[in-house]
Amino acid sequence: MKKNLFLIAFLLVIGYLVFDFFYNRHRISNLHYGVKSNELRKSLHIPIIDNYMKAVNKYNTYFGNRWESGKDLPQKFEILHVWKIVTPLTDSSGLDYEADAFRKRYNDTLFYQLNIYSKVYGDSVVKRNGNLFFYNKRGLLDMELNENQIDSVAENWKLLYLIRQI
């Protein structure tokens, strides 16, 4: 009898975890500031939520406000979009503030990291700034970037949809 109760409880827990996983994926896919806003992001030259990124809810402010790639470091020639933080105006309307991190391999032990901070005004105007530094060796290079410099790094890294002035 105890074995049957344990088995039933175990199956209920597994069933709940599976349901919760798919229900959360459904909720995340319906967020107005999630993947659905990628076309708006492209038009405003803001980094999109890449298809390999997964939503996490670390701060419980808004559901799915942080997206992370499954990897921490890029492969040989890859530009890896490591994380994205989205702060919407409300749960149901408007982009407000977004922060993104990209990494690119410099050599076997050092990686460039480009952070882009985007402030959105009325879903039509964006003010961006950023930082460029060596990941794991932050003291070697840490540069604040303006709009033109972000465009320059984006062009060099072939992140062409981020470039405002061509």
Cβ atoms of 111 and 91 within 8 Å: the answer is no
User: Does 101 map to a domain?
Assistant: yes
pLDDT tens-digit series, residues 144-163 = 888 889 999 999 999 988 88
Residue 112 in domain: yes
Q: Is 108 among the domain residues? A: yes
Domain count, the chain: 1
Of the pLDDT bands very low, low, confident and very high (cuts 50, 70, 90), residue 88 is confident
Tokens 């932050």 correspond to 138
Is residue 72 one of the residues assigned to a domain? yes
In this structure, the number of other CB atoms found within 10 A of the CB of residue 158 comes to: 8
Print the domain residue range for 154: 31-162
- State the pTM of this model: 0.75
Q: Is residue 113 included in any domain, yes or no? A: yes
Alpha-carbon Rg for the chain, nearest whole angstrom, is 19
Q: How many CB atoms lie within 10 A of CB 141?
A: 14
pLDDT digits (tens, 9 = 90+) for 49-77: 999 998 886 555 555 688 899 898 898 89
76 located within any domain: yes
Identify the band that residue 46 occupies on the pLDDT scale cut at 50, 70 and 90: very high
Does 16 fall in a domain? no
4 located within any domain: no
